[in-house]
Structure 1
Amino acid sequence: MKEKVNSIMAKKGLSFDDIIMVAVTKTVDVDRINEAIELGVTDIGENKVQEIQDKYQKINSNVKWHMIGHLQSNKVKYIIDKVCMIHSLDRMSLAEEIQKRAEEHNISVDVLIQVNIAEEDSKFGLKKEEVIPFIESIRDFSRIRVKGLMTIAPYVENPEEVRFVFRDLKNLFEKIKELNIPNIDMKYLSMGMTNDYEIALEEGANIVRIGTGIFGKRLYKGD
């Protein structure tokens, strides 16, 4: 995988070191996660607050935690001081709760705005046209540092079919960057998973979220 990434990034004059690969550890046990960290994984991502709580004290402390799943406002307090970035800010009530809890801990929190580019009913996130007004509305939240955008593309057999999703998000990313909104830093574009990360990188992603590609197929309860 590292070779594939380097090959794609080389065309941009960049390398593997210019992206963040978040290892998605949903349902992965602690021993396997620590083994992955020993082999070089530096960032891990969890979809559920409960899994962060269960694993946090048992995981190698050198790793950075990312909250990549939908975040309920009433659960912010459990992870606010544990994660380096929340990838899924998508509504004012969540922003208010992050601000409140960050003030209590006297910290600032890096966040990405989740955008539902494909407007799938099954996915969370703002519609494309809602993003700039939302960002404008939270720019004065002193404890929230907006660092970029995140999206999840529809799952398809041929990832070329979702190239437009990544391209549209990159265009929005650049548009926001040009606006120079105070307290808003378009630094990270989090898009692409095991099935489509190559297309996402080609279209400008600098954070990819890889689960199956690192840990193999998950066996969920009921499978």
Structure 2
Amino acid sequence: MKERLESVKDRIRQVADKCGRNPETVRLVAVSKTMSADKVREAIDGGAAIFGENYIQEAREKIEALSSYPVSWHFIGHLQTNKAKYVVKLFDLIHSVDTLKLARELNKQAGKINKIQEILIQVNIGEEASKSGASVKELKKLTEDISQLENLAVRGLMIIPPFYNEPEKVRPFFSTLRELRDEIRKEAIPNVAMDELSMGMTGDFETAIEEGATLVRIGTAIFGERK
């Protein structure tokens, strides 16, 4: 595990250096869904500091079991509105906010525990019916509407692009997300930082870094193939 983590971190550093970026501006999210608490502990011992989870119940058990470790937990899966009350108690950053309805419920639940919940807005640039995410057309209005919610803080954008075996085919989706981020940043919307771009997984994270990723979500290269 430690060797795999070091290998991924080395690849992140190399590609960041190559494209003139400070490697410290790219953070590794170890995608630990379906992995046991023991496996996550092993990754922590190997140097992982941020973990991405997709399922509330599974994540809650791990977070409680590993509560003594100073790590950060990110929710990266599709989120249903009725799970909002759980997710705001467990996660530092939610990557997958894609509707105003969900944002309002997260805001309501965060308010109950006096928390400012940091979120990313998920964008469905490929307009795939099988994937969640706001459309490009509705992104600006959605961002403006969410910015009015006092217990949420928009920190950037997230994408799960169409799957291709060739990273170069995914590059246009990454570059488009960066351009959308830059456009919204120019609007200087209050309560919207647009500092983060969550994009890139095991097969294409180097391309994502070249296009501006600040959070890369990597599971297989760290934990191995999932059953």
Aligned pairs, number: 219
Matching of residue 22 in structure 1 with residue 33 in structure 2: no
Aligned counterpart in structure 1 of residue 55 of structure 2, from 18, 32, 48: 48
Give the Cα separation in 2 of the matches to 1:55 and 1:79: 14
- SS of the aligned residue for 1:119 comes to coil
Aligned counterpart in structure 2 of residue 72 of structure 1, from 64, 77, 80: 80
Aligned residue identity for 1:197: F
**Shift, 1:140, TM fit:** 1.2
Matching of residue 168 in structure 1 with residue 170 in structure 2: no
Aligned residue identity for 2:213: A
**Shift, 1:180, TM fit:** 0.3
**Shift, 1:202, TM fit:** 0.5
State the Cα deviation string for residues 120-167 of structure 1 (Å, max 9, x = none). Answer: 111100111110010111211010000000001111111111110001
Aligned counterpart in structure 1 of residue 144 of structure 2, from 128, 136, 149: 136
Identical pairs, percent: 43
- Structure 2, unmatched stretches of 5+, are 1-7
Give the Cα separation in 2 of the matches to 1:107 and 1:124: 25
Q: TM-score scaled to structure 2, two decimals? A: 0.94
By percentage of residues, which structure has more helix? 2
Between 140-149 and 52-61, report the one with greater CA deviation: 52-61
Note if contact 2:26-2:209 (Cα within 8 Å) is conserved in structure 1: no
Matching of residue 13 in structure 1 with residue 20 in structure 2: yes
Give the Cα separation in 1 of the matches to 2:22 and 2:225: 27
Matches of residues 114-129 of structure 1 in structure 2 within 5 Å? 114-129=122-137
Aligned residue identity for 1:13: G
When the two chains are superposed, the root-mean-square deviation of aligned CA atoms in Å is: 1.0
Give the Cα separation in 2 of the matches to 1:183 and 1:15: 26
Q: TM-score scaled to structure 1, two decimals? A: 0.95
Note if contact 1:68-1:88 (Cα within 8 Å) is conserved in structure 2: yes
Partner of 2:4: none
- In the TM superposition, structure 1's runs of 4+ consecutive aligned residues that sit over 6 Å from their partners are none
Aligned counterpart in structure 2 of residue 4 of structure 1, from 8, 11, 18: 11
Aligned residue identity for 1:209: R
Give the Cα separation in 1 of the matches to 2:48 and 2:161: 24
Give the Cα separation in 2 of the matches to 1:121 and 1:141: 28
Matching of residue 92 in structure 1 with residue 87 in structure 2: no
Give the Cα separation in 1 of the matches to 2:144 and 2:9: 37
Note if contact 1:170-1:204 (Cα within 8 Å) is conserved in structure 2: yes
Give the Cα separation in 2 of the matches to 1:126 and 1:218: 28
Note if contact 1:2-1:16 (Cα within 8 Å) is conserved in structure 2: no
- Structure 1, unmatched stretches of 5+, are none
